Amino acid sequence: MQRYLRLRSLYIRLTMDIQRVRDPIHGFIHFTDKEQKIVDSPFFQRLRCIKQLALTCLVYPGAMHTRLEHSLGVMEMATRAFDSLVKRNKEELRKNFRRLGLGIDNARQLLRVTALVHDTGHLPFSHAAEGILPKGKSHEDVSVEIVERNHKLFANLFYRDIVEHIKLLINKNVVVPLELQILKKLVSSQLDVDRADYLLRDSHHCGVEYGNFDYLRLFETLRVVPGAQGGLELAIDRGGVHSLEALLLARYYMYAQVYFHKVRRIYDIYLKKYMAYWAGSKFSKNLLNVTHYTDEDVHASLSSNSRARNGEIRELACRILNRKHHRVIFETGDFAEPPDKRDIGTLRDELSVRFEGAEFILDTEAKGTIHKFYASGDEELGEEFKVISRYFQRSISKESSVIARLPKTFAVYRIYCEGSDAKLKTYRNFARTRWQELSQGR
C-alpha cells in the first residue's frame, strides 16, 4: 500500500508538470497547471510589455527582451539550484523546513512562485523609472502589494501561508525566520538566481559574451552549512570557486559594457526626467496603480509630447524618439572614488563658466555593487561565505585571490555635452588638462 501511494504521488507530480515553454537560455521551462494560473494572470502577463533593459535597445538593438521571460528564467534557475541542494543536503533541509511546518515540496514550491512573481511590481522601463515611486518605496514593495491583493488566489492554489512567506522572501527590508534564510539567499544574495539569469539573458539578447559563466557547474557545487545564528547558509564546494569568480567578473563586465554604457546612461537620464513628468501623482497614493501601465503607455506619451508646447518635455521626447543624444567629453575609470566625485563636480562647474551657453550634464549615478565579500584593503570583513573541501572550510576571500582583489563597487563618472566636433574637441582638451591638475592637488 505504501509503495502504491508513493508511486501515485510521483505520478501526480510528474503529470502536473505538463506545461512548458521554449526559452533561449534554458531550453524548456516547465511549470504546473497551478503555476500556469499565475503565469496567465493579468499582473504577470503585463510583464510582456515591460522591457528588461529599458532603452538599451537604442545601443544594442537586440535588447528587446522582457521581464516576463526573465521571471520564467529565474523560476527555472531557482528550481535547478534548489534541486541540486536537496540532492546533497536533503536531510539538513528537511529538518530545517520542518521547524516552520513546511515539507521539502512546499519549500520548493514557495521558491518557484517567489521567483515567478518577484518582478511583477516593475514600472514601465524597469529600473529607469524607479525614482517616480514615493520616497522609500521600490518595485519590491509593489510586488508585495500585488501578492497581497491576490492572497486568495495564491492560498487556494498552493498552501495556506504561502503569501506571508512570499512577502518575506521578496521584501529586502525585513528579517526572515531562520528557517527561510536559505531560500532568501537563493532569491537575493551574492550568487542569487535572479542575477544569474539576467546576466546570461541580457548578454544573449545584447549579442555580447560578457555575461556568460558556467552556472550549471556553480549550481552543482552549491552546499549548505549551519548558520552562525541558526538556520542554514549557502556554501560552495572548492570545485565551484572558479564559476563563482566568473559570475562576479561577468557582473563587472556587464556593468562596464552594457548596464552603464555611456550612451545607455544618457538615455536613462532623459528617461528619468521624462518619467517624472509622465508619472505626475499616478503612484503617490496607491502603489498598485503601477499595474495599469506598461512601456507602451510611455511610448504613446513620448509620441504625443514630441509635439508638445512645453519645450523641455518636447526636447526630452524628441531626443529619445529620434536618438539624438549628448556625447561624453570626460569620464573617469571604472572604479571612481569619493574624491573623483568631488573633482568631477568642480570640473563641470568650471566648464560651465569657461564655455558659457553650453549645457554640461554631470552623471555620477553610473555605479553598482559587484560583490559584498571581503576585498583587499577593506576595513570591514564583508559577507561571510564558506568554501568547502575534503580537507578544510574557509572563507571565499581566503580561497580566491581573484575575489579578494576584485573591487566591490563599480563607479564611473561622466560629463556630457553636445555641439560640433570642433567644439567637443575643445571641451575635451580643457577637461583632460584640468582633471590632471585637480588630481595632482589631492
pLDDT band at 16 (very low <50, low <70, confident <90, very high): low
Q: What is the rounded CA–CA span in Å between residue 402 and residue 252? A: 13
Question: What residues contact 299, with CB distance under 8 A and at least 6 apart?
Answer: none
Architecture of domain 21-262: Orthogonal Bundle (1.10)
Which residues touch 377 (CB under 8 Å, ≥6 apart)?
none
- 262-279 vs 311-322: helix axis angle to the nearest 10? 140
Query: By mean pLDDT, which of 46-60, 199-213, 284-298 is the weakest?
Result: 284-298
Would you put residue 114 in left (φ > 0), alpha (ψ -120 to 50) or beta? alpha
pLDDT of residue 57: 96
Residue partners of 54: CB distance under 8 A and separation at least 6: 125, 126, 127, 128, 129, 267, 268, 271
Mean pLDDT of the chain: 92
Percentage of the chain modeled with pLDDT above 90: 79
Which H, E and C letters describe 37-73, residue by residue?
HHHCCHHHHHHHHCECCHHHHHCCCCCCCEHHHHHHH
C-alpha span between 256 and 211 (Å, rounded): 11
How many Å apart are CA 310 and CA 102, to the nearest integer? 57
pLDDT given for residue 430 in this prediction? 97
pLDDT tens digits, one per residue of 334-358:
999 999 999 999 999 999 999 999 9
Domain boundaries of the chain, sorted by first residue: 21-262, 326-371+406-442
106-115: per-residue pLDDT in tens?
999 999 999 9
pLDDT at 136 (0 to 100)? 85
0.75 surpassed by pTM: yes
CA 347 – CA 354 distance, rounded (Å): 10
26-38 mean pLDDT = 95
Per-residue pLDDT, 347: 97
